[in-house]
Structure 1
C-alpha cells in the first residue's frame, strides 16, 4: 500500500495542542513523583488514591491521543514507512527506559510502561483503522469491561502482568497492561473515525489558534515523544543533586516521627504541649543513638530496646516530674 501525500492529510492543530497539554501534565506528575521519592514532599505520589486518579487520567488522555493520531496518520491507508520509523523510535525509547530503570530501581524497573504499551497498542490497533466501525466498538467494550469483572493470581507475576487481570499489582514504577488500556486507544480510534465522517471535522481543522501559548503547546505536542524520553532524565538530573545536598529525607523522617508520636501521645490523654516536649525528647534519643532503622522496621535488638525504654522513662519524667520525686 502506497503512502498518502501529506497534503491530503490535514493536520489538526487542536490535537497537537491537546498533546502539548498532556505532556505538560505528565512532566508535572513525574516532577511530583520525583519530589515524593526523594522526600521533598510528604505525599506518596505512587500510591495515594488521589495521585493514582491523576496518573490514570493523564495516561488515559495520552492513550486516547495515540488512537487519534493513528487514524489521522493512517486512516486512509497505512503509511508503512512513516509507521515503522516512528514505531522503531518508540521501541528504542522503551528499551532505554527499561535498561535505565533496571540499574536505578532493580526491584521495580519498568518492563511494560507507557512506551512499551504504545508500541504494542499501535500494532494491535492497525486492523481497526479501516475495519467496520462496529468491530473496534465491540473490542473496546470487551477489553475495558473484562478488566472490571475478571482477576486471577496468575497475573500477579511479572511474566503475565503486562496483560492485566492481576489481584495484587507487581512492583513496577510504571505498568500499563493491555487490559484495559488498549481499549482506551480504541476509543480514540472510534471517536476520530466518527469525527472525520461528520461535519465536525472541517470545523476542527479550521481551528488554528495563533497565540504564543497555543504555538508552544502545539510545538510540544508535535515533539511529545522526544519530550517524554528526555524529561525524566532532566528532572532527575536536577532533583537528585538537590536531594544529596539538602537531604530532605532527614527533615521528613523527623516530621513523620514527631507527627506519629504526637498523635499517639495525645490519644493517651496527655495535653498537646506536654506531648510536644515528650516527643522532642524521644526524637533526640533516636538521633543520638542512630535508631532510625530500628524504629522504622520494628526489629529492635535487646540493647536498642533497653535504650528506648530508658528514653521513655527519662522523657516521661521531663513532662511529669512527680514520677521521679522521692516518696516521703
Structure 2
C-alpha cells in the first residue's frame, strides 16, 4: 500500500443520508442514556435488554458505514495524507472523550469506546480494501465467532479488555472491543466492494437528495464525526445542571418505591385499590422518618427497623381497620 495521487470516488448521497440517520439515532440513544443516568426517566437505558439491542444495532450500523467509507475513500489506493488526517482527528476526539469521562465518571470512564475503535479498526481494515473478498468474509466470521468460543479472566482487566475475550467486562460507559465489532467494519468493506463492482453502483451514485429532509440528513452525514464529538458535551451541559436544579432522582425514587410496593402487595393477595392506599401510606412514613438510605442500602439499624415496623402496622391498619386495636 503505497501513496497514490488518484482521486477518491464521488460521494454517494445515499451513504451520507445513511450516516445522517445513524448519527441521529446515536444522539437520540445518548440523550436517553443521559436522562436515565440522571433519573429523569425510569428505564435503565444502560442495562435494559431492549435498550442494549438498540445500542448494539446503532453501533453495528455506524461501524458498517466506517467500512463503506474506507472503500469509497481509499478503495482505489490509500490516500495516506487524507487517511492520517482523519485518523488523527478521531484519535484526538477519542482522547478527549477519555479525559472528559474520567473527570465526570472516574469509576466507569471510556477508555476504548466508539472513536477509539474507529481509529484502530480503520488501520486494521486497510489490507482488506484490496485482499480477496473471501478472505475478508472468512475473517469477519472468525471475529464474530471467536468470543463465543473463548474467554479468559485475563481479558477482564482494562489493559486487555479492548481485545474482547472477557468473562466479566470491567466497568465502563462504553466499550467496543476488536472481537466481535471489527467484523462490522469488514462487512461494510465487503458490501461496498461488491456494490462498486455491480451495475447497481451507477444507479446509487445518481441518486441525489431532492427534499429538505434528505438534504438535511446528507449534511448531517457529512459532518457525523464532528457531531459525534460535540453532542455529549452539549447534552450533558444541559442535563447535568438541570438535574442539580430539579432533583429528578427524588421523584424517581418515589415512583420506584410505589411501583415495587404495589407489585409486592398485589402478589400478596391484597386488592390493587387497597395496595395503592397502603403504599402511599408507606411512602409518607419513609419520607417522614427519612428511611431512604435504609431501604436502598439494605443496612437497617435497630431504630430504623422499629420505625419501618411501626409504619407497616399503621399502614396495615389504614386498609384493615380491624387491625387498629388499642393496647392496654
Q: TM-score, normalised by structure 2?
A: 0.96
| Cα distance in structure 2, aligned partners of 1:130 and 1:191 | 13
**How far apart are 1:313 and its partner, in Å?**
1.6
Matches within 5 A, 1:84-103: 84-103=84-103
Tell me what 1:319 maps to.
319
* CA separation of 1:327 and 1:28: change in aligned 2, threshold 3 A: closer
For the 8 Å contact 2:209–2:218, the answer to whether it is kept is no
Tell me what 2:158 maps to.
158
Tell me what 1:290 maps to.
290
Matches within 5 A, 1:182-201: 182-201=182-201
Deviations for 1:186-222, whole angstroms, at most 9, x for unmatched residues? 1111111111112111111111122111111111111
**How far apart are 1:149 and its partner, in Å?**
2.2
Matches within 5 A, 1:154-303: 154-303=154-303
| Cα distance in structure 2, aligned partners of 1:14 and 1:327 | 79
Deviations for 1:138-195, whole angstroms, at most 9, x for unmatched residues? 1111111112222223222222111112222221111000001001101111111111
Deviations for 1:255-298, whole angstroms, at most 9, x for unmatched residues? 11011111112222222222222211211121122211110111
Q: What 5-or-longer segments of structure 1 have no aligned partner? A: none
Tell me what 1:310 maps to.
310
Tell me what 2:25 maps to.
25
For the 8 Å contact 2:6–2:77, the answer to whether it is kept is no
More deviation, 25-34/268-277: 268-277
More deviation, 311-320/68-77: 311-320
Tell me what 2:5 maps to.
4
Matches within 5 A, 1:52-201: 52-201=52-201
| Cα distance in structure 2, aligned partners of 1:159 and 1:289 | 46
Deviations for 1:44-92, whole angstroms, at most 9, x for unmatched residues? 1111111000000000000000000111101111101100010000000
* CA separation of 1:216 and 1:4: change in aligned 2, threshold 3 A: farther
**How far apart are 1:327 and its partner, in Å?**
8.8
| Cα distance in structure 2, aligned partners of 1:250 and 1:236 | 19
| Cα distance in structure 1, aligned partners of 2:11 and 2:277 | 65
For the 8 Å contact 2:109–2:172, the answer to whether it is kept is yes
Q: Alpha carbon RMSD of aligned pairs, Å?
A: 1.5
**How far apart are 1:5 and its partner, in Å?**
4.4
| Cα distance in structure 2, aligned partners of 1:70 and 1:129 | 8
Tell me what 1:36 maps to.
36
